[in-house]
Chains A and B, each alone.
Chain A
Amino acid sequence: MSKAQRDRAAARKIVEQQKAAAKRRKVTMWTSVAVVAVLVIAGLIGFTVYANQSKTTASKAVTPSVAVDNGTAFAVGTGPVTVDLYEDFMCPICHQFELDSGATIKQLVADKKVTVRYHMVAILDDRSQGTKYSTRAAGAAAEAAQEGKFQEYFDVLYANQPEENSTGLSDAKLIDLGKSVGLGDTFAKAVNDKTYDAWVATVTDTFSARGFTGTPTIVVNGKQVVGPNNTLATHDQLAKAVEAAEG
């Protein structure tokens, strides 16, 4: 190979390397643009889905006429102290709370010391194998409230609470339990039509907007009641909180 030939070969190699480098830069640039585009599109899809879901919930929600507190709770009792209870029908700790404090609460109601506002939220919908038991149970309880049987139905649902992460009680079972406390065909229809199910989402939303994140949340005259070290308040602690609120 002459020197000229060697030079030409070397020059060709440099050009090829530059071309390859240019190609790599181009590919890197366009793939980066593609990555950013995909993420932006994913974000837009997410936002659209979210906005649509919020709109559907808002338009489908039927607020029970008997509900208080901006249509998010059912009141039991007529006492001066307000006790707000945020509970989920699937939540085992709520059941525990009802076992421990249920009688105390009923006594306070009977003594006309408190007005209890039950906010039945659905934060455990994904713990019933896709059947959304929390929502279905709260929706059924709303119809029970419409027919003046909230407390009775509430009690019978907790007494028959399904295991967490089971399929929950079926709609038929929810209707049967309704019958056991004197609820009839209107109730059955509301359960089957899921009349109040969309509304349950707005109750849950209000609960979250108030900064609460777990159930049961117990609030006496606007002040949250918890036991020491963030444990569940006992019936004694609840009674003391009510006493303190009476002033």
Chain B
Amino acid sequence: METRQLSARMTAAWPWISTVARLGLAAVFLTAGLLKVDNLAASGRAVNAYRLFSYDTAKVIGALQPFLEIALGILLLIGLAVRLSAAIAAVLLVLFIAGIVSAWARGLQIDCGCFSKGGDLAAGRTAEYGREVLRDAGFLILAGILLVKPRTRFSLDGLLMGER
């Protein structure tokens, strides 16, 4: 009897938990994109600092990334195709984590450029890869919640499905 009550309560709570996850993830992507979009050259240099692509490729990635982050942030904010949006967010986050780990493994001394224009660290400053990876992993959990429970309150999805 008690477990059934608990599960009923969880059923009622999930859309709210997912709503928080959705809005949180939206804020993350909007912030990350807006901080970079005013200086695309710098964003390109931040990608270049990972030394994974040729500079020409890095420049294009650096230019597109903030726009995609902002678009994804808006999609999550309004709640359109939440499961798909969350899946795309998760893929991006996995790529970001992979990039940071690879920089870490190669012993590069860079700023991840996650919420800034990044680049090489000045001498005397140490990279904070562990913290950066943990933070992105936290965001990945938000995306994971939405993948499993994509139904949220105040979403365009809900409106279109005719839910209240």
Contact = CB atoms under 8 A, between A and B. Distances in A.
A204 interface: yes
Interface centre among A31, A38, A45, A211 (most CB of B within 10 A): A31
Main secondary structure of the interface of B (DSSP, over half): helix
Interface residues of B, number: 44
Interface string A217-247: 0000000000000111000000000000000
A42 B63 CA distance: 11
5 contacts: A28-B81, A42-B68, A53-B41, A208-B48, A231-B124
Interface string A97-139: 0000000000000000000000000010110000000000000
Contacts of B42: 123, 125-126
Interface in B41-94: 41-42, 44-45, 48-49, 51, 55-56, 59-60, 63-68, 70-72, 74-75, 80-81, 84-85, 88
Given A126-B42, A214-B122, A35 B63 contact: no
A172 interface: no
B53 to A, nearest CB: 11
Nearest to A28: B81
Contact of B109 (A39, A93, A123, A230): A230
Given A39-B72, A93-B122, A123-B45, A209 B39 contact: no
Interface stretch (B18-26, B129-137, B138-146, B153-161): B153-161
Interface in A128-169: none
Contacts of A53: 40-41
Contacts of A209: 55-56
A32 B84 contact: yes
B27 to A, nearest CB: 18
A50 B72 CA distance: 19
Interface in A88-102: 91-93
A204 B55 CA distance: 12
A223 to B, nearest CB: 18
Interface in A23-47: 23-24, 27-28, 31-32, 34-36, 38-39, 41-43, 45-47
Given A50-B63, A209-B55, A35 B121 contact: no
Contacts, number: 105
Contacts of B81: 28, 31-32, 34-35
Contacts of B48: 208, 213
A201 interface: yes
A201 B45 CA distance: 12
Given A23-B161, A45-B67, A230-B109, A35 B84 contact: yes
Contacts of B97: none
B71 A49 contact: no
A27 B15 CA distance: 19
Given A31-B80, A231-B123, A42 B85 contact: no
A205 interface: yes
Contact of B123 (A43, A93, A125, A213): A93
A121 B40 CA distance: 16
Given A23-B161, A93-B122, A230-B123, 14 more contacts: A31-B81, A35-B81, A35-B88, A38-B74, A46-B65, A46-B67, A50-B63, A92-B122, A125-B42, A126-B38, A126-B117, A211-B55, A213-B45, A230-B109
A161 B143 CA distance: 45
Contacts of B64: 43, 46-47, 50
Interface centre among A36, A50, A125, A204 (most CB of B within 10 A): A50
Contacts of A31: 80-81, 84, 156-157, 160
